Amino acid sequence: MANYDVIVIGSGPGGYVAAIRCAQLGLKTACVEGRETLGGTCLNVGCIPSKALLHASHQLHEAQENFPKMGLKGKAPSVDWKQMLAYKDDVIGQNTKGIEFLFKKNKIDWLKGWGSIPEAGKVKVGDDVHEAKNIIIATGSQSSSLPGVEVDEKIVVTSTGALELPKVPKKMVVIGAGVIGLELGSVYSRLGSEVTVVEYLDHVTPGMDGEVQKQFQRLLKKQGLDFILNAAVQSVETLKTKAKVHYKLRKDDSEHTLDADVVLVATGRKPFTDGLGLDALKLKTSDRGQIVIDEHWQTNIEGVYAIGDAVAGPMLAHKAEDEGMAVAETIAGKHGHVNYDVIPGVIYTHPEVAAVGKTEEQLKEDGRAYKVGKFSFMGNGRAKANFAGEGFVKILADKETDRILGAHIIGPMAGDLIHEVCVAMEFGAAAEDLAMTCHAHPTYSEAVREAALACGDGPIHS
Ligand code: FAD
């Protein structure tokens, strides 16, 4: 048993960042983690492993599709799935050990085990009860499923099972056309699986800009993914090594069945707060299970804070990280700040998709007068050379003031390009400010500038 200024429960991107910042600000800090390795969902079964498989499968796609076009001849590589998984596990190991190193460097105690809060100011881990002036709950989230769909992590899997399948399935059905379903669906499609995505709504990636949704679905279809939209999955029946997905088309209630070797359930995630003892503590949660916090990330119990996937807002690692830094600064008596209006969202497929700020649909709904500047990557020399001309940058700016309100990119390195617009928005920039900034040639970033020019007198290369 020990006394701490801060105990963080959970070592995902929210928790470990909060712990490091607390320690940097001079607070005696511990972090409780029940998993065998640090880093949470993100490093162990989320962002990092999925990006490793996206990278590997993209390289295969490049070798098969584009190498011959550039005069790079020879047999395209074949897939050694075991080795690909070993590569992915190695990437996870390097990252989780990196957090362990940072904990040691910052003198943060890792309290190994599952933590609970028996009362304000106390955290129980195993048989030990530790005292803490402040507690930060950063316990993250877990996959949610649908009624009638039983996950066994073998044939019917969540993203966690999909990251370690024993072999590449012949037929995969993905339930849900959100970010996780489409990222992992495109991994398996590139590795040779027949992938069918079944989605309840009539479009993919709910919440994204409508034009981007259409283009994204079109490009994924061209890459071989099949889509059944407007379809409600009723149940999944598992046979010995296969499954049958029963769904109804919403337009006429007709019933259909799809066969699959693996079914990936990617219908969203829900906060994970099991075992913390929140009910006994009378800590307030919403009807969606999210911990309720005030503008300083404090719960209804003084000295108990919550951040990341366990609270409201986009379930993204960088949102959790920002909250982690901000809550640490608040506890240390500084002014923690998160700008929730400028949180980018990225889909790491090829092409990538990235967005920040308002969509056109939201602006219409708000009745805000806006203008659109759009530029196709077909007009970008670098993109054309790299077989990456399909896609566009779209910037939305206030009609009167020209202030940037949102940006939506589908195309090469979209997840990196979006940050130029994020910085501009953080500084309250106008589209003209981006348009007047010299951009190096030949870069993909020039497409962002051209879209900004398109908000004014027009782009040059279209
Ligand atoms: P988590 O990362 O979920 O960490 C919580 C930790 O708390 C876990 O390690 C858990 O074991 C621990 N814990 C829980 N309860 C206790 C307890 N009582 N005691 C001790 N420890 C406890 N986001 C992105 O921004 N970019 C991406 O590319 C991306 N890709 C993703 C891909 C997949 C397949 C998945 C599933 C998610 C992805 N996400 C991505 C989402 C991202 O992983 C989460 O938003 C992020 O991890 C949330 O961070 P967190 O700190 O709130 O919680």
Evaluate: CB of 42 within 6 angstroms of ligand 1: yes
3-class DSSP assignment, residue 310: helix
Evaluate: CB of 139 within 6 angstroms of ligand 1: yes
Beta strands 392-398 and 370-376 are antiparallel
From 91, 96, 130, 139, the mutation candidate for ligand 1 (largest count of ligand atoms within 8 A of CB) is 139
Evaluate: CB of 136 within 6 angstroms of ligand 1: no
Active site positions, annotated = 441
Average pLDDT, the chain: 97
Cα of 25 vs centre of ligand 1, distance in Å, is: 24
Check residue 415 and give its pLDDT. Answer: 98
Is pLDDT of 1 > 80? Answer: no
Residue with tokens 């077909």: 378
| Amino acid of residue 7 | I
Cα of 31 vs centre of ligand 1, distance in Å, is: 15
Q: For 121-179, what is each residue's pLDDT tens digit?
A: 999 999 999 999 999 999 999 999 899 899 999 999 999 999 999 999 999 999 999 99
User: In terms of Cα–Cα distance, which of 402, 394, 405 is closest to 451?
Assistant: 394
Q: For 362-390, what is each residue's pLDDT tens digit?
A: 999 999 999 999 999 999 999 999 999 99
Is pLDDT of 221 > 80? Answer: yes
| Amino acid of residue 96 | T
Q: Whose CA is nearest to atom 36 of ligand 1?
A: 46
Structure confidence at residue 181 as a pLDDT band (50, 70, 90): very high
Domains of the chain listed by start with CATH number: 3-143+270-332 (3.50.50.60), 156-267 (3.50.50.60), 345-455 (3.30.390.30)
Q: Which two tokens stand for residue 263?
A: 């079914």
- Omega into 442 within 30° of 0, i.e. cis? yes
Q: What is the dihedral of CA 196, 200, 204, 206, to 10 degrees?
A: -150
Give the separation between CA 436 and CA 218, rounded to whole angstroms: 33
Is pLDDT of 230 > 90? Answer: yes
The predicted model gives 438-445 an average pLDDT of: 98
The predicted model gives 202-222 an average pLDDT of: 97
Distance of CA 74 to the CA centre of its chain: 36
| Amino acid of residue 449 | R
Q: For 87-130, what is each residue's pLDDT tens digit?
A: 999 999 999 999 999 999 999 999 999 999 999 999 999 999 99
Is pLDDT of 323 > 80? Answer: yes
Is pLDDT of 462 > 90? Answer: no
Give the separation between CA 308 and CA 47, rounded to whole angstroms: 14
Cα of 16 vs centre of ligand 1, distance in Å, is: 11
Give the separation between CA 106 and CA 310, rounded to whole angstroms: 25
**Paired residues of 259 in beta bridges:** 244
Q: Which two tokens stand for residue 317?
A: 């690692």
Check residue 2 and give its pLDDT. Answer: 84
- Those residues with Cβ within 8 angstroms of residue 386's Cβ, 6 or more apart along the chain or in another chain: 412
Burial label, 392 (beta-carbon count in 10 A; 0-12, 13-18, 19+): buried
Evaluate: CB of 357 within 6 angstroms of ligand 1: no
Structure confidence at residue 277 as a pLDDT band (50, 70, 90): very high
DSSP string covering 48-97: HHHHHHHHHHHHHHIIIIITGGGT--SPPPPP-HHHHHHHHHHHHHHHHH
First to last CA, the chain: 67
Residue with tokens 């980018």: 344
User: In terms of Cα–Cα distance, which of 109, 139, 110, 131 is closest to 277?
Assistant: 139
Q: Which atom of ligand 1 is nearest to the CA of 16?
A: 51
Q: Whose CA is nearest to atom 43 of ligand 1?
A: 42
Evaluate: CB of 47 within 6 angstroms of ligand 1: yes
The predicted model gives 313-326 an average pLDDT of: 98
321, 315 Cβ separation under 8 angstroms: no
Q: At what angle do helices 179-190 and 210-222 cross, to 10 degrees?
A: 20
Cβ neighbours, 10 Å, residue 10: 32
- Dihedral pair phi/psi, residue 228, rounded to 5°: -120, 105
